[in-house]
Amino acid sequence: MIDNSIMDFRQLDLLAGGDSVIHRLDPRTKVLVTLAFIIAVVSFDRYALGALLPFVLFPVATMAIANLPVGFFAAKVMLVSLVAVAIGIFNPLLDSQVLVRIGNVGISAGWVSFGSIILRSALTITAALLLTATTGFSAICQALGRLGMPEVFVRQLQFMYRYLFVLTEEAQRMARARELRSFGKGGQGIRALSSMVGHLLLRTWERAERIHIAMRCRGFNGRMAASCSTGFGLVDLLFLLGWITLFTLLRLYDLPRLIGDTIMTLTL
């Protein structure tokens, strides 16, 4: 489990080193577009399900242009979406009023809102993962700082991300040592787990102090060195305006309903 988590973080960092058109965009552009996408998706009514479907275009187009592995993101989104399933699983029981009819089959408002929760969760999680996979977490933090986020918050995000690997590596070593000492049988109870968590905290604290001392010896003054110096160009402007305009139109107009009404008008 811990090994898989570390590999996921490193896989995102490796994907961020690509050389597609999306990767070469200014990080600020991608942050703003992702933010506009998330705001547009979460602003819909809880019963808006069909209107959310056109927003799938953004993650699909991004993965296609950036040449990203679809299976990797699908697995992560499905795993995280279990939280959304737990949140909305009781909606069909609490809201049983029929909202949509397909032939003789009635679909309750609870099922529609449940589907809306799942779709919105999947879209926003995918957008965040794609931003990290095409930009890199350090570049995202720098972009947030250049967009006006207070520097203290930017540093906290950068340190949190870097020390996350320290925490997971220490946890990985301790879990492996416990398995080797217990032969896969003993030492799996709650007492052993609580003791392991306490030792993990102490070990990561001590290692963080050693890392901090090493950084101060190398001249660290409280600011992270910028790893990228891309500029905002014409391509960034077109990318930003194009997607934001599309998100605005999709938010204002229910495209699937308009298409359905047009087809029904033409067939009658």
Q: Confidence class of residue 187 from pLDDT cuts 50, 70 and 90? A: low
Predicted local distance difference test score (pLDDT) of residue 30: 94
Is residue 11 within 8 A of residue 81, CB to CB? The reply is: no
Name the token pair of 267: 């067939």
Predicted local distance difference test score (pLDDT) of residue 22: 92
C-alpha pair distances (Å), 246 with each of 40, 54, 203, 208, 262: 10, 10, 50, 45, 20
Query: Is pLDDT above 60 for 196?
Result: yes
pTM over 0.85: no
**Could you identify the residue written with the tokens 């809201």?**
95
Comparison of pLDDT for 214 and 37, the residue scoring more: 37
DSSP labels for 49-71?
A: -GGGGGGGHHHHHHHHHHT--HH
Q: Report the first-to-last Cα separation within the chain, whole angstroms.
A: 57
Q: Confidence class of residue 64 from pLDDT cuts 50, 70 and 90? A: very high
Predicted local distance difference test score (pLDDT) of residue 32: 94
The mean of the pLDDT values for the chain is: 81
Sign of CA dihedral 137, 143, 146, 150: negative
Query: Is pLDDT above 80 for 175?
Result: no
Q: Confidence class of residue 167 from pLDDT cuts 50, 70 and 90? A: confident
Tell me: the pLDDT tens digits for 242-260? 999 999 999 998 888 888 7
Going by the DSSP 8-state scheme, the letter that residue 108 receives in this structure is E
